[in-house]
Amino acid sequence: MTFGPYLAQLENALEIPYPERAEVISEIAAHLEDLCADLMFNGTSETEAREEAIRAMSADAGFVREMADVHQTAIAKALSKLPRNVSLGIEYSAIALVGLFLVFITVLQEAPMIEFLASGGLFMIPINLAGIAIVFLGIERIYSLFIKKDHSQENLEKRLLSLGFLAVACVMTGVIGTLVGFYQAFSVADQVASKFDGVFPIFEVTRIAITTSIWGITLAFIAVVVRFIAKAKATRILGMRSLST
């Protein structure tokens, strides 16, 4: 006797984090099997017994809501009581504030970091914008999957493509910035050398030129790590989903 389609539908409807959701589905599956077996023992056919067991389970209209109330996180419970637009506004505002705070303490408070970013020139602007997006998306993924524990199907794969795109964009922009920096320096090599007693400062030029590449690769690494963590969590949850059904 299989209740796969019904259990899959019920699993999608339950707003419960994993592994609790998988445990609830397993308990329901066992209950359905027992109920179906009792009906068949009393002479009901297997098909009718399965349909009757599903009807009996579906008749409890408050079941899904009760399960959600028991297993939802405190944050999810509080937000569920608010209108959708209001709850989203609160969540994204909090994420933005945390992101700005992290940017502030890691960049604005460190003079060497400011000097490092300034030495990269104009190419640092798109790289930094991508970096800010990576920070915000990373915070959103960590909050959504690990704190709020929104393990719904549609939420598991969110932002992964964006994080991958931003990682590639950071690396490409950084490399292009480095190449442009070398080109600009060598195109006026005589003028540059005249400022250093006639010797072209290759090490200084290299140090400045590779700034964009270093920063772009650093931000890309952060994006890849966040994406890996989110993807691993999603894969683990999907594994629980398949096992429970």
pLDDT digits (tens, 9 = 90+) for 111-121: 566 666 666 67
Average pLDDT, the chain: 83
Spatial CB neighbours of 13, under 8 Å, sequence gap ≥ 6: 64
What pTM did the predictor assign? 0.76
pLDDT at 170: 96
CA pseudo-torsion sign 157, 158, 161, 167 = negative
pLDDT at 149: 86
Tell me how far CA of residue 143 lies from CA of 3, 99, 139, 239, in angstroms. 33, 12, 6, 21
> Given 3-state DSSP classes, what are the helix, strand and coil percentages for the chain, each rounded to the nearest 5?
80, 0, 20
Percent of the chain past pLDDT 70, that is, above it, reads 87
Lowest mean pLDDT among 101-105, 125-129, 163-167, 223-227: 101-105
pLDDT at 9: 80
Mean pLDDT of 227-233: 93
Q: What is the pLDDT of residues 123-140, one digit of tens each?
A: 888 998 999 999 999 999
- Using alpha carbons, select from 177, 163, 159 the residue that is nearest to residue 214: 177
